Amino acid sequence: MGSPRNLVLIGVFCCVYFVVMFSGGMLGIFSPIMIMVGGIISTLINGIVIMLYLAKVPQFGSLTILGLITGLGMMFTGHVWYVVPTAIITGLIGDTIARSGNYQGKLTNPLAYAVFQLWSMALVAPIFINSDDYFADIEAQMKSAEYADTMRHVFTPTMILIWGVATFIVCLIAGNNIPSNLTGTTTHAANKGALGDSSSPRTNIDARMKLLYLIVCNVLIMGLNTRSTLWPIIICLGILIACDMSRKFFLGYLAIILISFGATLLPGVPGMNNWLGVALGIVGYWVLRFTVSLSVAIWMFSTTRISEFTTAFHQMRLPNMIVIPLSVMFRFFPVVIDEMRGIIEAMKLRGYQKPWLHPIRTAEYIVVPLLSAVARIADELAAAALIRGLGAPGRPTQLSTHRFGAWDAVMILAILGFIGLTIAQRA
């Protein structure tokens, strides 16, 4: 499990798994019932991802590490903390089941995935532990008592049990239905995107500080109802984007922020206090927060070299089994986006127009080539990692020493200010 090849593959498949799961969860913006529907769809697609993952990394601990990284990702995006131990436990049980079939069983691998995927039930555990506060928070986040009431009626113990059983069954089905054409070639140069270096940013911020900033912003924006903190975070992020990234990206960020904020004001406009205004307000509310959250991540990934991530993690005394998957995972997100762009462009060149009219067919045309490319990229990244000496004993030599500077002091003050505003609001 500790070999660099396996650790690189873990990082790649963790990235894909998280992207698919996150995309399915975003459907919940439109309706509470779409939370369940999106979960089932992402579970179905991730079945292919996990089966490829187990085939590439047939080692005990692969699902456990995936559970650890996924749980941390969910906690840092505002979900309950006990999703982390739940994901670790289900991953450990899944590893035990998969190992009984030597990670090749046609029954044990899907069963291991089905057990592992049950960690997602921890996301709705607050409904049973403290339902009144949970739905009050949902109402405050969505700015809609109707949405919260609908969710209260949909997410009953019986429906959650049915959802869990359906998830389990879908995992078994997905694990036994892997397309046979997942052995294609990549559409882009993978090694440069995932293990290469990025251009030097104007700000000189330590990678650890960027990661802390990402975590704090996600927790405050996605997990708490922090109206007083939202705009300071937006302004601070806008300054960082203006300094470090292209003018086109900055203008796009600014336009989406202003349009989504304007949509949140529609329910209070005379004549728009109807279902359309409320629906647009809810969509605008979540688009605003997702834009900020994703923009922080894009800024961090675009301005930080993979070597800087690795050096920073080593300075934190983290083991290689955590350092390498996280480093590859952070750098692989842009690769997934580039692959999707290439696939969509290929679809257009072949005359496939108006994909929204055929969502199922479009998903198949995108997901299958994407997973085929990911499987090939994973092998190329593992080979590149070996060439770069990730399998050498001991810690690698650091060509540069990362220390806190003036920009890091400014970031610390900004983070403390965000936390202080949040505490003052909730006091």
Cβ-based neighbour number of residue 35 at 10 Å: 22
- The answer to the question of residue 333 being in a domain is no
CA 82 – CA 120 distance, rounded (Å): 11
- The answer to the question of residue 132 being in a domain is yes
Number of domains in the chain: 2
* Domain C-terminal end among 159, 190, 221: 190
- The answer to the question of residue 387 being in a domain is no
pLDDT for res 200: 60
Domain interval for residue 118? 4-190
* Domain C-terminal end among 190, 215, 242: 190
- The answer to the question of residue 338 being in a domain is no
pLDDT for res 224: 59
Angle between helices 83-100 and 108-116 (to 10 degrees): 170
Query: Which one-letter DSSP state was computed for residue 198?
Result: P
CA 145 – CA 362 distance, rounded (Å): 35
CA 188 – CA 380 distance, rounded (Å): 12
Asked if residues 68 and 84 have their Cβ atoms less than 8 Å apart, the reply is yes
Residues 43 and 120 in one domain: yes
pLDDT for res 87: 92
Residues 185 and 282 in one domain: no
Asked if residues 28 and 144 have their Cβ atoms less than 8 Å apart, the reply is no
Give the chain's residues under pLDDT 50: 183-198
Q: In a 3-state reduction of DSSP, which class is residue 67?
A: helix
Residues 89 and 236 in one domain: no
Residues 96 and 205 in one domain: no
pLDDT digits (tens, 9 = 90+) for 46-94: 888 898 888 888 889 899 999 998 888 888 777 778 889 999 999 999 9
pLDDT for res 183: 41
Asked if residues 321 and 4 have their Cβ atoms less than 8 Å apart, the reply is no
- The answer to the question of residue 235 being in a domain is yes
pLDDT for res 319: 76
* Domain C-terminal end among 147, 174, 190: 190
- The answer to the question of residue 113 being in a domain is yes
Q: In a 3-state reduction of DSSP, which class is residue 274?
A: coil
Report the candidate in 213, 272, 220 with the shortest Cα–Cα distance to residue 239: 213
pLDDT for res 142: 63
CA 427 – CA 407 distance, rounded (Å): 30
pLDDT for res 198: 45
pLDDT for res 22: 80
CA 337 – CA 267 distance, rounded (Å): 34
- The answer to the question of residue 89 being in a domain is yes
pLDDT for res 97: 92
pLDDT for res 400: 60
- The answer to the question of residue 361 being in a domain is no
Residues 179 and 55 in one domain: yes
Residues 422 and 281 in one domain: yes
Residues 47 and 172 in one domain: yes
pLDDT for res 81: 83
pLDDT digits (tens, 9 = 90+) for 161-179: 888 888 899 888 887 766 5
Residues 69 and 14 in one domain: yes
CA 313 – CA 320 distance, rounded (Å): 9
Residues 136 and 208 in one domain: no
Residues 126 and 32 in one domain: yes
Residues 168 and 269 in one domain: no
Residues 181 and 213 in one domain: no
